[in-house]
Amino acid sequence: MVVLLFGIELEILKEVSSPERGKLMAEAATVYRDRGRCLQALARPEAAQSDLKRAAQMDREARQLAEGQIELINRFREPVTVVIDGVSYRLAVGESKVITRAAGTFRYELPTTGQVSTGQVEAGKIFGLQIR
């Protein structure tokens, strides 16, 4: 019954693009994994394998929903280095890079100018950062 209710709730949240969908999907993966273990104990390997496979798929989707991206674009006339949370990214003139990371606040700086700031990556979205 719990698995059925999770399935219904996930479909509802899918329709409204809820940010809570990733969290719910991770919880549903746990439920599917638990039922898969019960089915293994009951000597029902095909059904158990199906639930365990579904749980792994839900875990992957939940991780993706919890991530966002930072798109770095160099519109400056010279190569630049951008430091994001202590990691340096070198960009040639006109080059862009996309960095996938967990949703949340990040710190970035441009060492050549001394500019330091913060940004917020939202799950499933792209934070654009253009250097001009």
The pLDDT assigned to 62 comes to: 82
Per-residue model confidence as pLDDT tens digits over 73-108: 999 999 999 999 999 999 999 999 999 988 889 999
Rounded Cα–Cα distance for residues 54 and 62 (Å): 12
Boundary-marking domain end, from 24, 41, 65: 65
Mean pLDDT value of segment 36-42? 95
Q: Could you tell me the residue range of the domain that residue 82 belongs to?
A: 68-131
Secondary structure of residue 39 in the 3-state scheme: helix
Angle at 55 between CA 52 and CA 60, to 5 degrees: 130
CA distance 4 to 22: 17
Given 25, 48, 65, the domain boundary residue is 65
Q: How many domains is the chain partitioned into structurally?
A: 2
Average pLDDT over residues 2-13: 74
The band of 124, judged by pLDDT with boundaries at 50, 70 and 90, is confident
pLDDT for the residue 27? 87
